[in-house]
Amino acid sequence: MSTQTKTKTSTAVKIALITLATGGLMIAGGYGVSQINSVKYNLTVTAGEGGKVLSVNSSNATKQNSNPCTTQTETKFKCSFSKNAVVIITVVPKSGYKFSNWDWSKCPGAVCTITMTKDLDLTAKFTNPAAVTCPDKKTTNCGDGNCVDLQTNKDKCGSSCANAKKCTANQTCSAGACKTSVTPTCTKSGGKNSFIAGTLTARLASGETVTRKDECFSGSNTTLIEQFCDGTAPKNTSIGCDKECNTGGGTGVCAAGKCVCKAFCNDTDKEDITKKTNLTYRTSDGGSVQNSTSDTCVGNAAVIERICNGTTPSQKTIPCPTGQICKDGACKNY
């Protein structure tokens, strides 16, 4: 009996000596031995301006220390945890503030989980969104700290923060108002034609409908403002009606949103029977259409000479002089 007891005691003493040598704490009971790690690390958590420390907890804190935090205020906790203890820190913003970041990169958010391997002093930072001043005069801070252009921003669109709203998926923000987006279109009655008074109708991407008519430029009776479609984009250009009508010697004016070419007759050879020329004419005021006719022969003795009677085309038969015959619309020597 005494021999057995001595053996047990000797074993316990050996274990105690090994435990104390390694810096541990030994609790012996019967034949069992327990060792508790005595290494502790300090943790200080501070909430900066605009924030509060809500909690600092460890899953095994109650087993090792019923009150690991010796200081617990709204903005600061000072605690002590065993080595490798898993600690969850939670901070929250005060009214009007929002969480920004920690001064330790390993904490990604307002709730941070850490493993205690050293002493730590952490500070959570908070911002006051309403206090942000926008550097660009075109942008506005509506209290969330983001500088947005209320005239064009789809998420905050309005004339002021008070009436700003989020545009729907099929809307765009234009001039501070949400407008339904549509596929742009453009049509023009009569096409791009300076001799037809047409109307252009376009639907812009903002949903706005544009209607424009061809018109004569104010202060000029010869210049037309012609509307036309460049793909789906409405555009216009100025056109000189004189230039549009001057082929063959005619003139033109702008009237009622279109170019009107004046009636004319032009005889370039002035009854010269030795030349074959074309007579150009327009019998009445109207579009660009004009006509022409040429001198011709009557047999070989005379030429039918085209002439102008004012603005009206006419003709006369003129015999060729002695020694000449009519050939290819003109009197020529034998």
What is the four-CA torsion angle of 215, 217, 220, 221, rounded to 10 degrees?
-10
Q: What value does the CA radius of gyration of the chain take, rounded to a whole number of Å?
A: 50
Q: Name which of 142, 147, 144, 104 is nearest 125 in CA terms.
A: 104
Percent above pLDDT 90 for the chain: 63
pLDDT tens column, 188-209: 999 999 999 999 999 988 778 9
* Residue 249 phi, psi (nearest 5): 105, 10
Predicted TM-score (pTM) above 0.75: no
Between 75 and 179, where is the model more confident? 75
Quick one: pLDDT at residue 330? 95
CA distance 72 to 57: 12
Quick one: pLDDT at residue 219? 81
DSSP string, 212-224: EE-EEPTT-SSEE
Q: Do residues 24 and 35 lie in contact, with contact meaning Cβ atoms separated by under 8 Å?
A: yes
Q: Do residues 45 and 76 lie in contact, with contact meaning Cβ atoms separated by under 8 Å?
A: yes
CATH architecture for the domain at 40-127 = Sandwich (2.60)
Q: Name which of 233, 284, 221 is nearest 258 in CA terms.
A: 221
Residues 6 or more apart from 215 whose CB is under 8 A from it?
Answer: 224, 225, 257
pLDDT tens column, 128-139: 998 889 988 899
**Residue 6 half-sphere exposure, CB side, CA atoms within 13 Å?**
3
* CATH 2.60.40-classified regions of the chain: 40-127
Mean predicted confidence (pLDDT) in 95-117: 94
pLDDT tens column, 223-270: 999 999 999 999 999 999 988 887 656 788 999 999 998 888 888 888
Residues 6 or more apart from 247 whose CB is under 8 A from it?
Answer: 280, 288, 290
Q: What is the mean pLDDT of the chain?
A: 85
Longest dimension (CA), the chain: 173
